[in-house]
Structure 1
Amino acid sequence: MSNYLYGIDFGTTNSALAIYDEEARAISHTLIIPSLIYFYADRNAGYVVGEEAITAYLADGMKGRFIKSVKQILSKSSFTETRIQGKRYNASDLVAIILKELKQKADELIQQDCQKAVIGRPVFFDDDDTQKDTLAQNRLQRAVELAGFTNVRYQFEPIGAAFAYERTLTQRENVLVADLGGGTTDFTYLILDPAMAGRKDRKKDMIATGGVYVGGDSLDAAFMWEKGTPYFGKHTQYQAAPGKYLTVPKALFANICSWEQMNFFNSLRIQKDIENYYHYSGKDQKFKNLITLLENNLGYSVFRAIERTKITLSGTVSAPFSYHQMGIDMEEVVTLTEYEQVIAKEVDRIITALEAFMTQHNIAAGDVQTLFLTGGTSQVGSIQKLFRERLPHVELRSGDNFQSVAKGLAYSGYLFE
């Protein structure tokens, strides 16, 4: 019977697991599931994970609780728990649901209960904040335990991606790895050498790590703020007193621009405020869209429309932003120039973080021989453009944007020595 090790990349958007056969010294399978959970409206029906969550969400009339981007709440001290189907779920509980799903699918393939894993984690869960990072790591560790893993090591996700890339090399390279995921952008500068692949001690090859709390969700949030929220009443006027009209507080709409907030945007106080604003706005139709969005749990479908626009703009100069459901009608053409303006602040944060990373670790542009991009957000044209402009002389490489990290983690068995 073979011994196995799992490399697990728990991601904001997708999660992947690579099964490493320690005797054959090879990866036998790789699994990928969306990091999604759907709790049925019927509290006795339980929940489903991954692609099934999307199907169930739509089939259930979008009446239950749809959870996306749960990785984002790991570092949020303001989030303690949420009630779903009459039960309490904390951050670790929600993450464990996804990890259990991955483990169960992998265990079925190898017909064993594998409890050994290398788990990926971002360089920074929430920028350079030690307290938040510690909180997130502790919550992740608890989720890993709840999922049934007893023998675990942790590895930075971009290092995992680098080790996967190293297996394709024929000579030594100084590589800058940028792992652009849904929640974070992580950098690693390291020496990769195919002759060193599989060696137990690689510490001296890891020259520098860094990162910033910006990812694909940040780009989508910026788009939602600029292009989406006007359809939900961001500019709505309400009568605060006889003859006195004010604009509905902008803070209300910030809550529908990020998934970790929208998932739990359901307090009675907020619902009451929304009803009052709607009443005193003279029942403004666009503000009614906000009520429809929240009452019918339509957030995921709206963000899918945003995602479609983003993906299309990676290859064309314009794309439709189109959404029509339950009386909510959004239809406009977005040009690439407009989109780049919308996400400019987030892209600037990545540029600033990259420059600070290179300065802090005394990495000259000329030192970098290869730039390796991975993660779903690395496919965005504006992101690739910024790296090409910053390192114009360097060859840009990329691997499998959804599997490379998990595979590299599975190649990190030396951490158990």
Structure 2
Amino acid sequence: MPGPTLSYCAIDFGTSNSAIAIPADHGSSRLVELEAGESTMPTAVFYFAEHEPLAPGAEPPRAFGRAAIAAYVDGYEGRLMRSMKSILGSSLVEQTTDVGGGHAVKFLDVITGYLRHLRHAAETALGAPITQAVLGRPVFFVDGDATRDAQAQASLEAAARAVGLRDVVFQYEPIAAAFDFEQQATREQCVLVADIGGGTSDFSVVRVGPDRRDRTDRKDDILASHGVHIAGTDFDRRIELTGILRELGYGASGPARGDQPPREVPSAVYFDLATWHLINTVYQPGRVAELKNMAAFYADPRHHRRLLRTVSERLGHELLARAEAAKIAVADGADTQIDLDLVERALRVPLSAPQAAEAIDGDVERIVEAARQTVVQAGLTAASVDALYFTGGSTGLRLLTKRLAASFPAARAVRGDRLASVATGLGLHAQRRFAVAR
């Protein structure tokens, strides 16, 4: 007779995209189809503001993933939430935010609702309840602050337990990616995993090989892990500040006053407009009123007019999305035009590959330096790294991967599934952790 159904899952809750793995036949795991034909799903939630009256305590209707983004693009009234992972470890996690229709929710409850959606999809695919889970986590949720980093993991664990996952284990995301890489390893080697997603750039040096693959305790094989809280959303932010928000007055000067040199326009509003989870703070009535009274700060009145239109029409998230699209468009060295017709008729901003490269150069160098430091912490030299394994959505940026590969010229560069390698590796770890324990 067949044995009992194994009922665990592995969740890759990413800043930009998420995936989940469940047990499969013959002691393996498989990714769940979260949307039609797709095993990964944007980490996005849309709260609909227009709906039937709710019962006391009921939550507003929501859409998840691509459906959430489609609802936002199609112009439904409501609130799109993305990059929720970035609030873990911050004071925002217990704060409430307006989602439209007179409703407000805690940021942590947004994460909880998204995890509940993932768990439901996994249980539907498995045909059984799931109470055990491996969750991926970055090497650092918060750079340089161990207390806040621990708080971030505790918050994510609390959200997981709130949806019914009682036995929760965490694994570093780049180590999970190393387990995925190990499936193709034919000999023992040291691999440097570069897991560069939307919110963090994480690195691990892991000893892998066919003789180590089935071990349940891999502590001795993990030689070093390191990371920085810089990744794809930071690139988007730099591109928006450089290529879009300068047309709205970022970095511009005010009018000359007597013999005083012109002063730079206050920049706080622009930094908030370029940071996903802070954009809605710009729309607060008091802040809007303050911005309306700042016309005299601008030498070019068009800048102030464009800024006010952006704020009054709540265009901040759309501008950041266009910055992300521009980053992708120039990723392979091409030039692009950013259409800002929604801000001002016929307004377009050219963005060249060299401009984009210059905008993100400092961030890229910090990421590359983190990779070098990981190898140093492992007690190795660059020449000792046998393979460089790329995973995470931001490894599609050729400039970044070329700089990393140049730092480890002896390593064989291998590309995993940019969006699913971590989930696959977490599934392998979950199988070893939960199936073997039975």
2:251–2:264: 8 Å Cα contact kept in structure 1?
A: yes
Q: 1:58 to 1:335 in 2, by over 3 A?
A: closer
Q: 1:392 to 1:101 in 2, by over 3 A?
A: same
Distance in 2 (CA, whole Å) between partners of 1:238 and 1:122 is 42
Q: 1:237 to 1:128 in 2, by over 3 A?
A: closer
Kindly state the Cα deviation for residue 200 of structure 1 after the two structures are TM-superposed. 1.2
Kindly state the Cα deviation for residue 329 of structure 1 after the two structures are TM-superposed. 5.0
Alpha-carbon deviations, 1:152-189, whole Å to 9, x = none? Answer: 11000011111111112222211010100100000100
- 1:347 counterpart letter in structure 2: V
Query: Secondary structure of the equivalent of 1:325?
Result: coil
Kindly state the Cα deviation for residue 138 of structure 1 after the two structures are TM-superposed. 1.4
Kindly indicate whether residue 161 of structure 2 is the aligned counterpart of residue 153 of structure 1.
no
Distance in 1 (CA, whole Å) between partners of 2:345 and 2:224 is 48
Q: Give the alignment partner of residue 46 of structure 1, picking from 39, 61, 66.
A: 61
Kindly indicate whether residue 74 of structure 2 is the aligned counterpart of residue 74 of structure 1.
no
Distance in 2 (CA, whole Å) between partners of 1:321 and 1:294 is 19
Kindly state the Cα deviation for residue 242 of structure 1 after the two structures are TM-superposed. 11
Kindly state the Cα deviation for residue 282 of structure 1 after the two structures are TM-superposed. 9.2
Q: 1:200 to 1:360 in 2, by over 3 A?
A: closer
Query: Pairwise mapping of residues 106-117 of structure 1 onto structure 2 (< 5 A)?
Result: 106-117=122-133
1:13–1:68: 8 Å Cα contact kept in structure 2?
A: yes
Q: 1:358 to 1:78 in 2, by over 3 A?
A: same
Q: 1:391 to 1:88 in 2, by over 3 A?
A: same
Q: 1:329 to 1:303 in 2, by over 3 A?
A: farther
2:22–2:31: 8 Å Cα contact kept in structure 1?
A: yes
Kindly indicate whether residue 286 of structure 2 is the aligned counterpart of residue 284 of structure 1.
no
In the other structure, the counterpart of 1:349 is 366
Q: Percent identity?
A: 27
Distance in 2 (CA, whole Å) between partners of 1:29 and 1:16 is 7
2:43–2:84: 8 Å Cα contact kept in structure 1?
A: yes
Alpha-carbon deviations, 1:83-125, whole Å to 9, x = none? Answer: 3344443332111122111112222222222121100000001
Kindly state the Cα deviation for residue 235 of structure 1 after the two structures are TM-superposed. 4.8
Query: Secondary structure of the equivalent of 2:242?
Result: helix
Kindly state the Cα deviation for residue 247 of structure 1 after the two structures are TM-superposed. 4.0
Query: Secondary structure of the equivalent of 1:272?
Result: helix
Query: Pairwise mapping of residues 216-365 of structure 1 onto structure 2 (< 5 A)?
Result: 216-235=232-251, 246-278=263-295, 284-325=301-342, 327=344, 330-365=347-382
Query: Pairwise mapping of residues 58-207 of structure 1 onto structure 2 (< 5 A)?
Result: 58-61=73-76, 63-77=77-91, 80-81=94-95, 82-85=97-100, 86-207=102-223
Cα-Cα RMSD: 2.5
1:316–1:336: 8 Å Cα contact kept in structure 2?
A: yes
Number of residues of Structure 1 aligned to a counterpart in Structure 2: 415
Q: 1:284 to 1:7 in 2, by over 3 A?
A: same
In the other structure, the counterpart of 1:369 is 386
TM-score, scaled relative to structure 2 = 0.87
Kindly indicate whether residue 38 of structure 2 is the aligned counterpart of residue 55 of structure 1.
no
Query: Secondary structure of the equivalent of 2:341?
Result: strand
1:229–1:253: 8 Å Cα contact kept in structure 2?
A: yes
The worse-fitting range, judged by mean Cα deviation, of 336-345 and 181-190 is 336-345
Alpha-carbon deviations, 1:253-285, whole Å to 9, x = none? Answer: 110111122144333332221121147759933
2:31–2:424: 8 Å Cα contact kept in structure 1?
A: no
Q: 1:83 to 1:332 in 2, by over 3 A?
A: closer
Greater strand share, structure number: 1
Q: Which runs of 5+ in 2 are unaligned?
A: 33-38, 53-59
Distance in 1 (CA, whole Å) between partners of 2:160 and 2:140 is 18
The worse-fitting range, judged by mean Cα deviation, of 315-324 and 140-149 is 315-324
1:118–1:154: 8 Å Cα contact kept in structure 2?
A: yes
In the other structure, the counterpart of 2:12 is 9
Query: Secondary structure of the equivalent of 1:182?
Result: coil
Kindly state the Cα deviation for residue 54 of structure 1 after the two structures are TM-superposed. 1.2
The worse-fitting range, judged by mean Cα deviation, of 311-320 and 383-392 is 311-320
2:205–2:374: 8 Å Cα contact kept in structure 1?
A: no
Distance in 2 (CA, whole Å) between partners of 1:335 and 1:326 is 21
In the other structure, the counterpart of 2:226 is 210
Kindly state the Cα deviation for residue 306 of structure 1 after the two structures are TM-superposed. 1.9
Q: 1:147 to 1:295 in 2, by over 3 A?
A: farther
- 2:18 counterpart letter in structure 1: S
Distance in 2 (CA, whole Å) between partners of 1:238 and 1:338 is 25
Kindly state the Cα deviation for residue 17 of structure 1 after the two structures are TM-superposed. 0.7
Query: Secondary structure of the equivalent of 2:337?
Result: strand
2:30–2:427: 8 Å Cα contact kept in structure 1?
A: no
1:74–1:91: 8 Å Cα contact kept in structure 2?
A: no
2:226–2:373: 8 Å Cα contact kept in structure 1?
A: no
